[in-house]
A and B are shown apart, each in its own frame.
Chain A
Amino acid sequence: MNTIWALAGVVIKELYRRKDFYVLFVLTALITVAAGSVRFFQDPNIVRYVKDLCLLLIWVSALLITIATAARQIPAERENRTIFPLLAKPVTRGQVILGKFLGCWLASGIALIVFYAFFAVVTGSREHYWPVLDYFQAILLQWIMLGIVTAMTLLGSIVFAAPSSTVTIVFIVVAGILFLGRHLNTVALHNPEPLRSVIYTIYFIIPHLELFDVRERVVNDWGLVGWLDCGLATLYAAAYTGLFLLLTWLAFRRKSLT
């Protein structure tokens, strides 16, 4: 376990050494503050459009940070040839995968905390109340979702040739699931067989990342999601994360490093 933590620590250090996070955070802050400074009909209580925009930017930024960080981990080790001394130590390929996953996942969690702290300050200054539990649940669910995305990206980084193609493909897949995932069953019903069965199969196979998107609830003050439902969603995410990590390990185990 110490080996995995050590590998994860290196990835977390990479997060604050690289500029990606800072650029995205400053961009999010600038756009949110600019949007928040607009006064509609001199009403200082109007805040939901700012929350909506800020959460959208947080989601996009978190996905970009997670995918970009996870996609370059193993290819960079191979390209710099640091993978050989790493594996020469008593470190298995499975530990490398787990360490990289844990590091990327924790790094995305740290980024989320910073982003949501900014979100809480901006919205709290307008609304004058802080629904801390709601924000905690939103962070938790988003972080669990980013676990699936991290595992999926690590698999992509083994399968695809370059980090750029991994980033592009994973981002398109994730965006596709987030936009269309929950509607595939409706789309299936409007199609004839055998297309209906094909779409339904895809619907049940894909990881439903949109389950973890509670932005609408946070923006419109719907209150907390039931903790039992959160627990079910966590189990669902754990299953998919495990599956993707297993597939990554199977692909990496037989992969030539030269």
Chain B
Amino acid sequence: MKRIPPAWLLALLLTACFTLATLFVPRAASWNGQSQSDNVFKLLFGEGRRLFGNEMFIMADAYFHSGYYPSIFDRPVTDHDVAERSEGTTGNEDSTSDDFLGPPPDWIAALDREFVPNRHTHLNSGGPTGDERDSSVEEILPWLKLATDMNPQYVDAYRVGYYWLSRLHKPEDARDFLLEGVRNNPGSSELLFDLGTLYNKDFHDANRARNVWLAAWRTWQARDTNARTSVEGKRLGDDITINLAHLEETAGNWPQAVRYLEMTKQTSPNPDAIQKQIDDAKKKVTGGE
């Protein structure tokens, strides 16, 4: 029998290995319930990765303060400034992380403070230089993305990420980030509301905004009573209906706008102002007729 050269044997074995790999690798991925959408953190940490989600969000807040941030030994931060979004209160004066250090208790602490970030600043207002042209708020984004990779149910991280991406004039990225959030949290009225706002403000797509806000309204109504009557729940309900009302006003659909305003009035903390808007809208309805 003719002897096969070792190089041929090697090539044969390599081909066999490659062929078998193409057959087995896709199957092996499904053996442990893994799919292509699984990120590296899920592969490494499993469900335990969710524990790190909040830590990543805190890192985003620490970056937002350019490193001036309390440790576990200092007074804890009750509100994350990076998340003070829709109210626009990202100024320094309301911050709970401001001046957490107090006066230095001894000379070592006094010297130490010269070697670490020692002033309360925000990245969106220029950071340590205070020059708004130096704003580098995009530096918080990796941590927000990691927070959602670690914990895909971290709705606040998606919302904060959307807000800053929108402020950075990256509507496509903001939309993709929110859509990822909606895929991972299908019943989240907050994310659907933000997505509607994005479509309305950044894409000027009223039809899509209306559809998404209506979906947000449906998911809000499907919530239990406690979730709807809580302060945040009521505010979200107001936001959805008032935005739908304004959308209908812009479209000239006044009867529908009145209906949404009446829904807003039921939960609004300021029903008189809403009533005034209803009266104005009703005048438009009768004027139009």
Give the interface of A toward B (CB within 8 A): 38, 40-43, 45-49, 141, 182-183, 185-187, 189, 203-204, 208, 210-214, 216-217, 219-223, 225-226, 229, 232-233, 236
Contact = CB atoms under 8 A, between A and B. Distances in A.
B73 A41 contact: no
A49 B139 contact: yes
Interface in B96-149: 105-106, 108-109, 111-112, 114-117, 127-129, 134, 136, 138-139, 141-143, 145
Give the secondary structure class of A's interface: helix
Contact of A222 (B128, B134, B177): B128
B115 A41 contact: no
22 contacts: A40-B142, A41-B165, A41-B173, A42-B173, A43-B138, A45-B136, A46-B139, A48-B136, A49-B142, A49-B143, A141-B115, A182-B108, A183-B71, A208-B108, A208-B112, A220-B117, A220-B127, A221-B66, A222-B117, A225-B114, A229-B111, A236-B111
Interface of B: 63, 66-67, 71, 73-74, 105-106, 108-109, 111-112, 114-117, 127-129, 134, 136, 138-139, 141-143, 145, 165, 170, 173, 177
B116 A217 contact: yes
Nearest to B72: A183
A77 B287 CA distance: 101
B147 to A, nearest CB: 12
A34 to B, nearest CB: 11
B123 to A, nearest CB: 9
A204 B128 contact: no
Given A41-B165, A222-B128, A223-B128, A229 B114 contact: yes
Contacts of A213: 115-116
Nearest to A188: B105
Nearest to A35: B142
Nearest to B176: A41
A61 to B, nearest CB: 21
B67 A217 contact: yes
Given A187-B73, A221-B129, A222-B117, A216 B136 contact: no
